Structure 1
């Protein structure tokens, strides 16, 4: 890994969010266990990388495109990935989570990303900006309207 991707190994951890309601685009009875829940369980059973916490969430709004996960961490970009298989993609996800955790900013160099991450990113979301650091041009106006 590059020096950039090693930065942050002593910093705050990362979270791997797994959509528990993902159906991989399949019609399923309401009471049937979903592929997303199986993915969560398979990741937990495989053992998470150091500093990565697994979190089940209700829905990541990517219902027709396979199982969906998100990687996030303090001061890091957040990534949402889809088209995941609950069995075949477990090792790849754990590798990607470890690489993400090893970064200071969440930006894994392109050539170091798992192939699936390169082609199946649903969204990349910037880290929150502290109000003191925000550009006034991008801030919502708060003054009262004159009428």
Structure 2
């Protein structure tokens, strides 16, 4: 089973600014995440996750597991490290549930939604 971090590459750099130089915040966060990926976790860029009230949105998913949507990150290496650490714990989990006490501090307060596995509804 492969865990994927979907990073919105069109997300703003901050609530006030779209770009930092010639890159969006999502592009910068994606670069940091790609540089820190552990074995078993991959990253894919996706244009617009429709979380425009937040900036630097992403989703963490795997077949048969919960899907988490997170947002309002600073596009920094520290934010990326927290996301990657959570994704590694998610990957190790059978259902995608990671106990709150194991959440990295850098992801707390960034969760937007949690969705059930698609397979539970018979979708493919």
Aligned pair partner of 2:59 in 52, 70, 89: 70
- Larger Cα Rg: Structure 1 or Structure 2? 1
- 1:130 is displaced (CA, Å) by 5.0
CA distance in structure 2 between the partners assigned to 1:38 and 1:123 by the alignment: 23
Gaps of 5+ in 1: 1-11, 132-147
* Cα offset, 1:26, TM superposition: 2.9
Between 96-105 and 82-91, report the one with greater CA deviation.
82-91
Residues paired across the two proteins, number: 119
Residue 112 of structure 2: aligned partner: 122
Establish whether residue 13 from structure 1 lines up as the match of residue 13 from structure 2.
no
Aligned match for 1:101, one of 80, 91, 94: 91
Q: 2: distance between equivalents of 1:84 and 1:100?
A: 19
Q: Secondary structure at the match of 1:107?
A: coil
Deviation at 1:49, TM superposition (A): 1.0
Query: Normalization by structure 2: what TM-score?
Result: 0.86
Contact 2:11–2:18, Cα closer than 8 Å, also in 1: no
Any stretches of 5+ residues in structure 2 without a counterpart? none
| Mapped contact 1:65–1:82 kept (Cα < 8 A) | yes
Superposition TM-score, scaled by structure 1 size: 0.73
> Is structure 2 residue 44 aligned with structure 1 residue 55?
yes
